[in-house]
Amino acid sequence: MYKIQGVLFDKDGTLFDFNATWGNWTERLIETETAGRPAERARLARILGYDLEGHAFLPASIVIAETVATLASHVLPFTSDSDLHALIDRMSALSETAPQVEATPLRPFADTLKSMGLKVGLATNDSESAARAHLARAGVLDAFDFVAGYDSGHGAKPAPGPLLAFGRSVGLEPQDCAMIGDSLHDLHAGKAAGFTTVGVLTGPARREALAPHADVVLDSIAELPAWIAGHS
């Protein structure tokens, strides 16, 4: 039996390439909510930490790890209706249709994890409905024993609540589980929960930022099965 028996993934920047997915979403959000006001468009892009000309996130972008609700509080002053709940609904609808670029082919990857006898979960600061939609579109929702968003009732990363809920759901102790993610929020949540922490480089964060907070940093999730096998 492997030392690690449960793997909990972040979604964006981990299962899916971050910039390819959320760059599209952020540009559409900015265009929609500023409604052709160029000065406001540029201001909102700066607040979100997105380079419109380079089509890329800045390293400190708040989009990288914050919840939709937190992002909405920053976007709200730029909207015309000042209705926070309506804005969150619009943002969630946009996220459900964001194009997903897989960090590695997810169906064979998920099949490998299941063949190893691992419990598999996802904890994202996106909404649960968006997470389920993205996993279903990738054809792997059936492989996940647990799916939680910021709105699932367990709290949001970097708090450990979603991670501890995963452990309870699949019947594993924290020391039997690993948190895999591309951001410091993921790694801090993992440490707080008592999980092994695995950083990946398919998000905006660089190795030198992740390494002090991770038990290991991998290029992508594609390396995870071999690492788990060798780590046991």
Instruction: Tokens for 107, please give them.
Output: 């169906």
Residues in the chain: 232
Amino acid letter at 88? I
pLDDT at position 172? 98
Q: Is 14 helix (H, G, I), strand (E, B) or coil?
A: coil
Per-residue pLDDT of the chain (232 residues; tens, 9 = 90+): 579 999 999 999 999 988 888 898 999 999 999 987 888 999 999 999 999 999 989 878 999 878 888 999 999 999 988 899 999 999 988 887 878 899 999 999 999 999 999 999 999 998 899 899 999 999 999 999 999 999 999 999 999 999 999 999 999 999 999 999 999 999 999 999 999 999 999 988 899 999 999 999 999 999 999 999 998 7
CA distance 148 to 131: 8
Place of tokens 């922490």: 197
The full set of domain ranges for the chain reads: 6-16+100-231, 19-96
CA distance 162 to 180: 13
Instruction: Please determine, looking at this structure, whether the domain spanning 6-16+100-231 carries the CATH number 3.30.1490.190.
Output: no
What predicted TM-score, i.e. pTM, was given to this entire model? Answer: 0.83
Is 127 within 8 Å of 151 (Cβ atoms)?
yes
- In 73-230, beta strands by DSSP E: 119-123, 146-148, 177-181, 196-200, 216-218
pLDDT at position 15? 97
